[in-house]
Amino acid sequence: MATFVKTRDIPIAGAHTLPQEFFVSSELFARERERIFARRWVCIGRESKIANPGDYFLHTVGADSIIVVRDRAGRIRAHYNTCRHRGARMCEAASGTFSETIQCPYHAWTYSLDGRLVGAQTSDSIEGFDKKNFPLVSVPIASWEGFLFINQSENPEPFEEAFASLIGRFERFNLPTLTVARTIEYDVQANWKLVFQNYSECYHCSPVHPQLTKITPANSGENDLFEGPFLGGYMVINEQHESLSMSGQACGVPVGELDEDDIKRVYYYSIFPNMLLSLHPDYAMAHYITPVAAGRSHITCEWLFHPDSVRDEKWNVEDGIAFWDLTNRQDWHVCEISQAGIQSRGYRPGPYSSRESLSVAFDREVLHALGRDGEGGGE
C-alpha cells in the first residue's frame, strides 16, 4: 500500500526558484536537450495511433525526425527518418500507412518496416557493398499502459528499470484499453520547466482555477511519490461532486476497477521529463510536453475515456474536456506571465512555499540530470 504524505510536510529546506539562465539561456536549453531529453525515456503518444501493421507516424524532436511504425509482425519500431545512402529524409507525411516497405524518394533505396535495407538499385556498382550493413538507424522504443516512449541515448537505461516504480502502479485504471476522445495542441510561450513546476503545486489553484477549487479543495493534496523523476499523488473530490467537469458530475463510466477511495480522488503524476498523467474516476488525461526553445513549448493534451462512455450518448465527455481545456489555458497563461517576468532584469530567484514541495523536488531532478546538484533547489 502506498504511503501518502501531505504536500506541506515534505521538507524543502529554504529552496528558491531556479536562476534566470534556466529559463532563457539557449546554451542551457541545448544542454537539457542532450542530458535530459536525449537520455531519458520520452513519451511520444498513444500506441493506438498505429493499430495495424504498416501504420506509422513521425515524431519530430529538434533536428530529428523519427518514423514510429508497426511492422509486419505487429511489433512497434522506431527508426530515424534518414536514408543510409546519402541521408535524405525519406518520409514527409506526418502519419499514414506503408504498403510493404519504406522507400527513399531520392535513389529508391528500400527498407523493410523492421528497418532492414532490402533493395538498392545497381548496388553491385558500390565497392564491397552488403545490404546487411545498412539498416535504418533504430531508436529504442517501449510501451507502458498504452503509451509509447523512446530513448535517443546511445546506451539507454532499460525501460523496465527506469520505470520500475510506475510499472503496475495504475493497473486498476485500465489505461491501455481507454479511447482517446479528444486531442488538443497548445503552443505555450514558456520554458518547459515552468509547465512542470506549475503542474506540481496547487498553491496557485485558488487564484487561478476557481472552477477547480470548488470541486477539489486546493489544500487536499497528498503525495506518494515526492522525490526522483516521478512525482505526484492525489486531491480529494468533495462530497457534492463526482469529477472534474464543468457540471461537477461524472462524464463517463468509471475507467476501471476503482475502490471507494479512488472514486473520490483525482491523481496527478508528473513523469520526467515530458509527461503529465491525471487520473479521474471517469477519465484520464495525458499531457506530452515538447520543448521548442528556451522560452517556448508545444503541449499535446489527450482525454481518454472508457469506450462505453464514448459510445453511449448518455455520457457527455465534453463536460470533462471543456473543464480541462479551460484549466489548461489558465495554467498556460500563468506559465507565460512567469516566463515574461523571469526574462526581465528585475528577476531574482524567489522562495518556494511549503505548498510547493513537489516543484522543489522537480527542480532537484533537473539539477541532478544536468550534473548541478545542490544549486537553487534546496537540500
Residues that bind ligand FES (CB under 6 A): 83, 85-86, 88, 104, 106-109
Tally of CA atoms within 13 A in the half-sphere of 305 that contains its CB: 20
Cell numbers found for residue 240: 457534492
How near is the Cβ of 212 to Fe ion at its closest, in Å?
Answer: 7
In whole angstroms, what is the distance from residue 136 CA to residue 78 CA?
A: 9
Q: Residue 213 or residue 290: which is nearer to Fe ion going by CB? A: 213
Which secondary structure element, helix H or strand E, spans residue 44, and what is its range? Answer: strand 42-46
Closest distance of CB 150 from ligand FES, Å: 23
314 vs 128: CA distance, rounded Å: 66
> Least distance in Å: CB of 248 to Fe ion?
17
Cα 234 to Cα 280, 287, 326: the distances in Å are 10, 17, 20
Closest CB 107 distance from ligand FES, rounded Å: 3
Q: How far apart are CB 103 and ligand FES at their closest, in Å?
A: 8
All three cell numbers of 103: 522507400
- For residues 243 and 237, the answer to whether their CB atoms sit within 8 Å is yes
Is residue 201 part of the contact set for Fe ion (CB under 5 A)? no
Q: Which residue number, 86 or 329, has a Cβ lying nearer to Fe ion?
A: 329
> Cβ 104 to ligand FES, closest distance in Å?
3
Q: Report the C-alpha dihedral over residues 360, 364, 367, 371, rounded to 10 degrees.
A: 170
Please name the residue that has the C-alpha cell 539562465.
Answer: 21
Out of 331, 356, 363, 365, name the contact with Fe ion by CB under 5 A: 331
Cα dihedral 328, 333, 339, 340, rounded to 10, equals 170
**Position 302 contacts Fe ion (CB under 5 A):** no
CA proximity to 372, closest of 39, 35, 14, 41: 35
Could you tell me the smallest distance in angstroms from the CB atom of residue 120 to ligand FES?
7
331 binds, among ligand FES, Fe ion, none (CB under 5 to 8 A by kind): Fe ion
Residue (112 or 243) nearer to Fe ion, CB: 243
Determine if 365 is a binding residue for Fe ion (CB under 5 A). no
For ligand FES, the closer of residues 88 and 326 by Cβ is 88
Q: Give the rounded distance of the alpha carbon of 331 from its chain centre.
A: 16
CA distance 300 to 186: 6
Per DSSP, the three-state class of 75 is coil
Tell me the three cell numbers of residue 272.
520526467
Question: 6, 372 in Cβ contact below 8 A?
Answer: no
Question: Which residue stretch of 31-39, 91-99, 123-131, 329-337 sits at the interface with Fe ion (rule: CB under 5 A)?
Answer: 329-337
In angstroms, the CA 53 to CA 43 distance is: 21
Helix axes 192-199, 318-342, angle to 10 degrees: 120
Please choose which of ligand FES, Fe ion, none residue 107 contacts, taking the beta carbon within 5 to 8 angstroms, the exact cut-off set by kind. Answer: ligand FES
Q: How far is CA 112 from the centre of its chain?
A: 29
**Which of Fe ion, ligand FES, none does residue 109 bind to, with CB < 5 to 8 Å depending on kind?**
ligand FES
Comparison of 224 and 331: residue with beta carbon closer to Fe ion: 331
Least separation in angstroms between residue 268's CB and Fe ion is 10
Residue nearer to ligand FES on the CB measure, 4 or 106: 106
Which one of ligand FES, Fe ion, none interacts with residue 104, CB within 5 to 8 A by kind? ligand FES
Distance CA 12, CA 313 (A): 47
Interface region with Fe ion, contact rule CB under 5 A, candidates 220-228, 271-279, 327-335, 361-369: 327-335
Q: Is 356 in the site for Fe ion (CB under 5 A)?
A: no
Kindly identify the residues of this chain, within the stretch 134-193, that bind Fe ion according to CB under 5 A.
none
Size, binding site for Fe ion by CB under 5 A: 1
Residues that bind Fe ion (CB under 5 A): 331
